[in-house]
A and B are shown apart, each in its own frame.
Chain A
């Protein structure tokens, strides 16, 4: 039993934290997060040079990490800096490629790791609401290739992505696990259209429409109809990443709120001397430590071959993070009072990110229901 990170991981975290504090302060972050592109290509390439993307992948796939704790260390640092660059898409699409890609398809990995290729997962649909098995988008064979028809919802960095990992149904009912296939679709393929917009917590996303998009046979990732298992594994890494990111954001939100309680005076004394506020802060501390334990459990379980055991731990973590992240956000705003409502206060942006993490890859309710279903022998 040992809860210390290895020397290599501590160094990686230190490097990232230093880079973020020097190059990604609040003013810079706000400029990037509200920019037309929704993130900075220049910063993204610098992250790549630092090895922050490569750390998410195993050596066999051209990276130099890839274990659960590599992913959690990187994303925790990103959470501390509210980094909006497209790490999540790189991780999910990259891990799907690494797991199921042909040798040719895997060539995409180098571009993802050096920052030149922006990749995005396009799975959720307007009526889908996080369910991994629910896919209404259809792909039909035409000649040697496929034609894809459907719509994907809130695709992170959709306008800037060069390649999408699209889930489409090649057979079966709309909510069946069987019959889902995964396709690599290029941004410039005819029939791909995007409607981009800002996200409330910074960065941008897009509605993706696939209107008779023709792709060649080599766009199919993995076996026909066998995409669910690949998707579940890849999204699992995304769940771990989001949970770790939330821990980073919670730590900063807590520190900033504590500082405020110590310095803000009302009735002639620091407001942190009031027991009503002290107890709320003690509750938050306790919850954050429970959330940290959930992420440690998830990082330790991410490569467990026992599907039910692994997915239960991941859903437990995302449920925990959803519940606690939202609570931390709401409490930190409340403990700041009026100033917590302002755009100029960094804390407000940490709060927004924490709440929005619950809206990515399944919220608290979704993952509680999934945890129960997995325990009862069902669950997709």
Chain B
């Protein structure tokens, strides 16, 4: 039993830290740390910086341009990036489609699409959820009907994150309406510039445009854009959903968020003394801090099991549930810390370049909107209730 990283792993951590110190633009990390909204250019810039170092597609094997890291290295990298305030890697091309193509794609598809993901030539988004297929993902109704060398796609996708930035979408489509639910689904790559594709914004409760609806009307997709075999898409979809979840707990984000919360609580006054000395608030902070310390070790236990040759199975469902609960609690406490100043909604202040005097504490502008925005954490990626179903079936055997 040894909770320490090996000297090699510590050396790797130093290497990552040095890289972040040198290459992560301060402008960008300041935005992330203050909860300002990132632009498409910010995200693309960070991808390019990582790609230059060969660290963008850190889940890919070396032969396709990945760094060939093990589970521990990936964890350290993601953790350090979060602590440094690096923007999140936009996962759809790099972390989701990439591994699916590597495992199930044709040689031509790999040769063509993978370098384009690395170079940022394509911005991918995910066409999974539909109005009638949320937790019950296999209920997708969007159809793809073969017509010569094309599929003709009709239907609607929703909750498409950053779909308004994307030029490509990977979709789950129904290719066999007679078959059992999961059996008639195929995995199709669609160029969003094709006639018949329409993207409409969904404005979330915090006023942000992050997600979209995508409509397909007689969209013609070349058959070479089918991944793997027709009607086998569910297998690939599941592989994508379970692929690489060692960082699903988001411990690094929570550590960074908690440090920020503690700084705020020392600064903000309540009844003439720092909020951090208010017994009720101090207790709330201590509870989440202890839960997070436990979570760190739980996460490392799962990673150690993976590094030892295991695969993170349903354990990642445990990490997802508790990890998102902790993150949400930290957002909640940050909102509470603002007291009445959580109320003003000055949207301009959430963008870079706002120069007016802040209303209330400077952190107040983003506190409530970040809290509301991150209610999504326990809903997306398989809601926490779906994760409990998975635990119940896969671990508890009920």
Contacts and interface: CB of A to CB of B under 8 A. Distances in A.
B5 interface: yes
A208 interface: no
Nearest to B285: A372
Contact of B318 (A4, A272, A286): A286
A197 B55 CA distance: 66
A69 B1 contact: yes
Contacts of B301: 3, 289, 293, 296
B398 A279 contact: no
A273 B389 CA distance: 11
Contact of A290 (B1, B298, B303, B307): B298
Interface residues of B, number: 41
B5 A1 contact: yes
B293 A286 contact: no
B3 interface: yes
Contact of B396 (A258, A290, A368, A375): A258
A195 B388 CA distance: 49
B75 to A, nearest CB: 10
B322 interface: yes
B392 A290 contact: no
B201 to A, nearest CB: 34
Contact of B290 (A2, A320, A369): A320
A285 interface: yes
Interface in B286-305: 286-287, 290-291, 293-298, 300-301, 303-305
Interface string A257-278: 0100110000000101101011
A320 B294 contact: yes
Contacts of B5: 1
Main secondary structure of the interface of B (DSSP, over half): helix
A281 B396 contact: yes
B271 interface: no
A367 to B, nearest CB: 9
Contacts of A57: none
B370 interface: no
A28 interface: no
A279 B2 contact: no
Contacts of B2: 1-2
Which of B295, B321, B387, B396 gathers the greatest number of chain A CB atoms within 10 Å?
A: B396
A3 B389 contact: no
Contact of B391 (A261, A270, A282, A375): A282
B311 interface: no
Nearest to B395: A285
Contacts of A282: 321, 387-388, 391-392, 395-396
A84 B1 CA distance: 28
Nearest to B299: A293
A270 to B, nearest CB: 8
Contact of B282 (A258, A300, A372): A372
Contacts of B9: 1
A297 B292 CA distance: 12
A205 to B, nearest CB: 29
Interface string B147-161: 000000000000000
A1 B283 contact: no
Interface string B1-37: 1111110010000000000000000000000000000
Interface of A: 1-6, 69, 258, 261-262, 270, 272-273, 275, 277-279, 281-283, 285-286, 289-294, 296-297, 299-300, 313, 316, 319-320, 368-369, 371-372, 375-376
Given A2-B304, A258-B397, A296-B1, 9 more contacts: A273-B398, A277-B398, A278-B398, A282-B396, A293-B294, A294-B294, A296-B301, A316-B290, A320-B290
